[in-house]
Amino acid sequence: MTDKKNVISPFHGEHDHSHCETQALESAVAECAKQGLRLTKIRRQVLEIIWAQHNPIGAYDVLQKLQEAGHKPAPPTAYRALDFLVSAKLIHRVESLNAYIGCPSPNASHQCQFYICTDCGHVAEVSNSAVSDALAAGATELGFISQQPVIEVHGVCKNCLD
């Protein structure tokens, strides 16, 4: 078995964020059309806010940015948009941070690992099939059906160690 790793969001380094943001938004529009989902104006704005950060952002920060843009949405409006974006696999919820981050590949497997730097706050998303396979094997052994297993690893990235 090959240990397939796919680093979706690397730590720092050479990165054209505006390109990745544009590509992610185009991918989101295409994915919604493919799934027959409606990417409303408010949902798109929430997605744009999340992608503009490129680091995890909390729901209240999303709400504040919507208000700064001239909207007056109630908190449930922002939460509904976030729930939609998570269920459409356009964003991830980073549970331990109670925050959201964009998903650059909504049509890929969502059994991923997040490496979270406790110093700078950056999150790298890695999809490692060996880890996913090990989790699936453990679930099978227990007679357990897992639902989108995600692992969050906290530590310090290379840039912060230097």
The domain that holds 140 is classified in CATH as 1.10.10.10
Q: What is the pLDDT of residue 12?
A: 54
| 100-129 pLDDT per residue, tens | 999 877 776 667 899 999 999 989 888 888
**Contacts of 98 by beta carbon, 8 Å cutoff, 6+ apart:** 58, 59
Q: Which of the four pLDDT bands, split at 50, 70 and 90, describes residue 11?
A: low
d(CA 76, CA 132): 34
Task: Tell me what pLDDT residue 19 has.
Answer: 65
What token pair was written down for 142?
């227990």
Q: Are 113 and 153 in contact (CB under 8 A)?
A: yes
Torsion-angle region of 36 (φ positive above 0: left; ψ -120 to 50: alpha; else: beta): left
Q: What is the residue range of 40's domain?
A: 5-161
CA 131 – CA 71 distance, rounded (Å): 42
| Total domains present in the chain | 1
Structure pTM?
A: 0.82
